[in-house]
Amino acid sequence: MTEANLQPENSVPLDAGVVRTDLPMADARRIRYYDTQGQVRTALDQRPADDQPPIGQMRLDLLTDEWIAIAAHRQGRIFLPPKELCPLCPTHGDLLSEIPDSDYEVVVFDNRFPSLKEPDPQWHLPENQGTDTQIPDAAGICEVVCFTSDHSTSFGQLEDHQMRTVMEAWRDRTRALSQKDFVEHIFPFENRGEEIGVTLAHPHGQIYAYSFLPPKPKKMLESATSYFEKYQRVLLDDVIARELRDEIRIVATNEHWIAYVPFAARYPFEIHVAPRVSVPDLATLSTEVADAFPAIAKEVLLRLDGVFGMPMAYIAAWHQAPVKIGRDVLRLHWQITSIRRAPGKLKYLAGSESAMGAFIMDMKPEQSAAQLREVVL
């Protein structure tokens, strides 16, 4: 670590009064602080420099033409540590956590157990050549986004300004990761709840930058491209127009955003949140629209927790247009899917969903939307 890393030029002003400060961690990973109060970030990572896990590999599943990443080093991940040992809390006393400073607002740092890692500069995705297809390194980037230093809250319970800072971090990382040659798709998301396998209780999300277009966005690109060729219109524009027209599945709206249970929802509680204006990704979202996000996000997440009066396990997934293609036909939206269908019952992805990809919904989307709307906030 050199003095240069600690110079003020590591601080970059962003939107909404947020300033980003980049610092190295002991093992050469990077941490980025997103601050709004003029904090000066200089705390050094005091931990011994652990060896970084090696890069994994990717194998092509020929039966489906899909890449599978193999990250065999991840079995050592820490599993639901108590608060005193939480690696996502700020460093305090004897606990040297992932965040060297004794306080933070929002931080984004490189994942210590990444499924995907930055590859050699000459890396490229091999072509499908049947059983002769090469086995490339598992190229990509995995980052952790800590939403707050408060271990015991949740994303939906953040103050508006905190959520706005998280939004700014997502936008900043989307911009930065889009610059990397090997990155094809950027996916900020949050897994919430032990029911879906979350291993750290501290409120946090992740960002995956893939070196290939993942199967779901690939399929969404195909659908949107076909639709555009047929109707000369953006598919999600028309889908959202139908939701506004039908009205019955709308969960919340404000001047800049709309939240709805989609017409063909896959999960008992599934909510899509989209900006009213069509933009390809978080990086291209306007300040004004970004500013209006916390209000709708909080309403949606509070309604979700209110349905059964208990914190709802969910996956909250930002769907962005791919970095290099499809930017005129795919548009940004946020899909929240919950697997809980009743207080004591989860929806499992069993035979039909898992092996056939065919979803069976046990509930009408209109019913789900009604339950969400009925929650008293």
Instruction: Give the shortest CB-98-to-its own copies separation in angstroms.
Output: 19
Q: Which of residues 50-69 bind its own copies (CB under 8 A)?
A: 59-69
Strand partners of residue 109: 31, 144
The residue among 69 and 279 lying less far from its own copies, judged by its C-beta, is 69
Tell me, what DSSP letter sits at residue 8?
G
Select from 80, 219, 286, 374 the one that contacts its own copies (CB under 8 A).
Answer: 219
Tell me if 40 contacts its own copies by CB under 8 A: no
Select from 30, 161, 324, 364 the one that contacts its own copies (CB under 8 A).
Answer: 364
Q: How far apart are CA 295 and CA 297, in angstroms?
A: 6
Q: How far apart are CA 168 and CA 162, in angstroms?
A: 10
The Cα-based distances of 318 to 2, 275, 286, 297 in angstroms read 36, 12, 16, 12
Q: Which of residues 159-188 bind its own copies (CB under 8 A)?
A: 185, 187
The residue among 96 and 234 lying less far from its own copies, judged by its C-beta, is 234
For residue 14, give both structure tokens.
């962003």
The residue among 18 and 372 lying less far from its own copies, judged by its C-beta, is 372
Among 241, 242, 262, 233, smallest CA distance to 329 is for 233
The residue among 91 and 368 lying less far from its own copies, judged by its C-beta, is 368
Q: Is 153 helix (H, G, I), strand (E, B) or coil?
A: coil
State the first-to-last Cα distance of the chain, in angstroms, to the nearest integer: 49
The catalytically annotated residue of 204, 256, 272, 319 is 204
For residue 301, give both structure tokens.
């997440």
CB-CB contact of 27 with 96 (8 Å):
no
151 is catalytic: no
Select from 9, 37, 48, 72 the one that contacts its own copies (CB under 8 A).
Answer: 72
Q: How many residues bind its own copies (CB under 8 A)?
A: 84
Select from 3, 51, 79, 179 the one that contacts its own copies (CB under 8 A).
Answer: 79
For residue 328, give both structure tokens.
């005129």
Select from 10, 36, 52, 206 the one that contacts its own copies (CB under 8 A).
Answer: 206
Interface map 104-143 toward its own copies (x if CB under 8 A): -----------x--------------xx------------
Tell me if 308 contacts its own copies by CB under 8 A: no
Instruction: Give the shortest CB-244-to-its own copies separation in angstroms.
Output: 12
Q: Rounded to the nearest 5°, which phi and psi values hold at 137?
A: -60, 150
β-pairing, 314-319 vs 269-275, is: unpaired
Select from 33, 34, 109, 227 the one that contacts its own copies (CB under 8 A).
Answer: 227
Q: Is 303 helix (H, G, I), strand (E, B) or coil?
A: helix
Q: Active-site residues: which are they?
A: 204
